[in-house]
């Protein structure tokens, strides 16, 4: 495991020039910050979220900034099946012709509660969004990633994946599964010089999900999602080539 201060990395302006990067959960919070940062550093970003109006707002923000026109991928990770994921990969190939990276930023938490009160439906939603969706997206996009000269996948975990505690239930389990998935994928990609996958543990940040788990907290005292963007840029860009299967903590 690697502990790193993301602010120490200063990405060049053209870090992702010519690359196509898919960002899930791109309409708000961490996903929005990562998508905007990728666009600012030259990438054509595929914006994914379930809320079309928020996606269009993110699209407009990138276009108004004079950056490469992004692509919209409205897809509900809670309800999508194999056909929807395969169709999404097909659209990326048809419209953009390539895929050089994926930042899995979408996360879903029902509520903090005791295991005795959590329902099967709640567990299924968290597992579908937090674990099954990254697996499925990686799978359907694997051919495009393999065709890229330098492809990187980043998954977003959570501190309770490795330090489980009462009331985090299905969310902690789904994130622990995600970390295991990333380790398995990194091992399977270990012989490919152009493929890598790494994990980021953001820590407490001022995000909609944090507001859900800590409603009485002073959110302004927390780092903004944008402060974590340099770490994602480092892992997605070529400066991290050769780094595979690592876990990065975004805050000391």
User: Catalytic positions, please?
Assistant: 171
Gap between the Cα atoms of 35 and 21, Å rounded = 8
Residue 17: name the closest of 43, 35, 40 by CA. Answer: 43
Gap between the Cα atoms of 140 and 144, Å rounded = 9
The angle formed by the CA atoms of residues 105, 181 and 124, to the nearest 5 degrees, is 70
Q: How far is CA 66 from CA 70, 129, 225, 227, 252, in A?
A: 11, 32, 22, 22, 35
Backbone phi, psi, residue 27, to 5°: -85, -20
Gap between the Cα atoms of 149 and 238, Å rounded = 10
How many CA atoms within 13 Å lie on the side-chain side of 219? 14
Residue 193: name the closest of 145, 246, 156, 133 by CA. Answer: 145
Q: Identify the helix (H) or strand (E) that includes residue 145.
A: helix 142-147
Taking phi first (over 0 means left), then psi (-120 to 50 degrees means alpha), and beta for anything else, what does residue 141 get? alpha
Taking phi first (over 0 means left), then psi (-120 to 50 degrees means alpha), and beta for anything else, what does residue 167 get? left
SS3 48: strand
């Amino acid at each position: 495991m690697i502990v790193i201060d993301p602010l120490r990395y200063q990405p060049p302006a053209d870090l992702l020039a010519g690359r196509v990067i898919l960002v899930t959960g791109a309409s708000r919070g961490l996903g929005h910050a990562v998508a905007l940062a990728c666009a600012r550093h030259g990438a054509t970003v595929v914006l994914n979220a379930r809320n079309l109006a928020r996606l269009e707002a993110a699209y407009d923000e990138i276009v108004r900034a004079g950056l490469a026109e992004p692509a919209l991928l409205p897809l509900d990770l809670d309800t999508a099946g194999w056909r929807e994921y395969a169709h999404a990969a097909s659209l990326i190939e048809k419209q953009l012709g390539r895929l050089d990276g994926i930042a899995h930023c979408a996360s879903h938490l029902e509520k903090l509660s005791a295991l005795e009160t959590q329902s099967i439906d709640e567990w299924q939603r968290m597992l579908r969004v937090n674990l099954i969706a990254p697996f499925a997206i990686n799978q359907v996009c694997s051919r495009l990633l393999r065709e890229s000269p330098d492809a990187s996948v980043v998954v977003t975990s959570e501190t309770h994946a490795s330090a489980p505690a009462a009331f985090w239930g299905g969310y902690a389990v789904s994130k622990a599964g995600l970390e295991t998935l990333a380790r398995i994928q990194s091992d399977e990609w270990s012989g490919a010089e152009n493929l890598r996958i790494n994990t980021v543990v953001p820590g407490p940040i001022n995000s909609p999900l944090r507001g859900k788990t800590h409603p009485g907290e002073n959110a302004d005292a927390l780092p903004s999602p944008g402060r974590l963007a340099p770490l994602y840029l480092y892992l997605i860009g070529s400066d991290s080539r050769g780094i595979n299967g690592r876990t990065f903590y975004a805050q000391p």
